[in-house]
Amino acid sequence: MSSDPYDLLATTILLLDRDGVAVQANSAAENLFGKSRRQIEGQMAIALFEQDAALAQSILHACEGTLESCRQIAKVQHQASSREVSVTTVSLLGQPWAALIEVADLESRLIVDRTQRIAEQIQVQHDLLRNLAHEVKNPLGGLRGAAQLLEAELPDRRLTEYTQVIISEADRLQSLVDRLAAPQARPMQIDTVNVHEICERVCALVQAEFGVQVARDYDASMPDIQADSARLVQALLNVVRNAAQVLEQAQTADPMITIRTRIARQVLLQRRQHRMVVEVAVIDNGPGVALDIQDKVFHPLVTRREGGTGLGLSLAQDLLQQHGGLIEMESSPGRTEFKLMIPLEPS
């Protein structure tokens, strides 16, 4: 479709001739069907969907002008899996095209809406916790200082055992408070960033700390993005470290982490339609996120790991939000995927 406005739509549009051949497609169609416009145009429209007799009938009748419009659910192959879509077929009488097909991807919209809601809740919780952390910071400093003074005055050295407990627990709280305040600690510093350099940095850090293999599946055509690289390293590191920790703890046979980069087009993120979004997926073959916390892994203080604070993912989500992006999670035993989505241009 030559006119650009169609290419801004998240909805897939196909224009058909009288024989049911797709003569024009917009850029959302390329993304949905995983084919270039050149591959789509000239093909029978029905062949783009999984076999569906009812849909074939509707398209045929719409092209002949014997059906005005019809809406039905169909399936398309999308990245090696089957995806439900809503298809509206409209007959176009007296126009250069015989019919129009509009395809809306039901699943991605539902996932994005749900993730969006969760991200917003987390934002509220995080703000609350951050205020609390701020309030705790000062008395904590006073507490630690007083324990040190007390220790110096103690008549019996054996009593220092107690002041040491106060000091070390105060330090533990201090680091928790610092992590809570971290995302806002310094102003955003936006630069031109190479996504794969960030991935490599995180791989090096994780491989040095854990014995796990990290496989790379990079999209070589990945453009540079405008982002705060330290924040992205932190976010990705939090996600990859989790995977490494889970694999180690569960003693998974042949533990494997894969970092996959891709470009997605026409994605709705934080209520904005983005032309291009960079996706960095972290996939592991561990036991999966515990069922009882699947809905709240991104919430602060949610953890199933011994010694975990439950802040890693909520911080990562926060850092992505600061870039106008989002993290999604899909997990089942044997395959867990965390997908970091970053708009090409910061919002």
Ligand X SMILES: Nc1ncnc2c1ncn2[C@@H]1O[C@H](COP(=O)(O)OP(=O)(O)OP(=O)(O)O)[C@@H](O)[C@H]1O
Other C-beta atoms lying within 10 Å of the C-beta of residue 277: 21
Identify what 261 binds: Mg ion, ligand X, none; CB under 5 to 8 Å per kind: none
Q: In the complex with ligand X, which residue's Cβ is closer, 300 or 324?
A: 300
- 31 is a contact residue toward Mg ion (CB under 5 A): no
Cα–Cα dist 204/226, whole Å: 23
Q: Strands, DSSP E only, in 203-332?
A: 213-217, 225-227, 256-269, 272-284, 326-332
Number of residues lying near ligand X (CB under 6 A): 22
Number of residues lying near Mg ion (CB under 5 A): 2
- 176 is a contact residue toward ligand X (CB under 6 A): no
Cα–Cα dist 38/22, whole Å: 11
- 336 is a contact residue toward Mg ion (CB under 5 A): no
Of 29, 20, 83, which is closest to residue 55 (Cα–Cα)? 20
- The answer to whether 284 and 336 are in contact (CB under 8 A) is yes
Q: In the complex with Mg ion, which residue's Cβ is closer, 65 or 287?
A: 287
Taking the complex as a whole, the smallest distance from the CB of residue 200 to ligand X amounts, in Å, to 20
Site string for Mg ion, 222-261 (x = CB under 5 A): --------------------x-------------------
Of 135, 73, 136, which is closest to residue 106 (Cα–Cα)? 73
Q: In the complex with ligand X, which residue's Cβ is closer, 43 or 303?
A: 303
Taking the complex as a whole, the smallest distance from the CB of residue 259 to Mg ion amounts, in Å, to 17
Taking the complex as a whole, the smallest distance from the CB of residue 48 to ligand X amounts, in Å, to 35
- 318 is a contact residue toward ligand X (CB under 6 A): no
- 243 is a contact residue toward ligand X (CB under 6 A): yes
C-alpha radius of gyration, the chain, whole number: 26
- 312 is a contact residue toward Mg ion (CB under 5 A): yes
Taking the complex as a whole, the smallest distance from the CB of residue 238 to Mg ion amounts, in Å, to 6
Cα–Cα dist 138/136, whole Å: 6
Q: Which residues within the stretch 276-305 sit at the binding site for ligand X (CB under 6 A)?
A: 284, 286, 288-290, 297, 302-305
Beta strands 272-284; 335-343: pairing state: antiparallel
Taking the complex as a whole, the smallest distance from the CB of residue 207 to ligand X amounts, in Å, to 16
Per DSSP, 222 falls in state: P
Position with the least CB separation from Mg ion: 312
- Orientation angle between helical segments 160-185 and 312-321, nearest 10 degrees: 20
Place of tokens 């408070």: 177
Of 32, 121, 14, which is closest to residue 81 (Cα–Cα)? 32
Binding site for ligand X (CB under 6 A): 238, 242-243, 246, 284, 286, 288-290, 297, 302-305, 308-314, 336
Residues that bind Mg ion (CB under 5 A): 242, 312
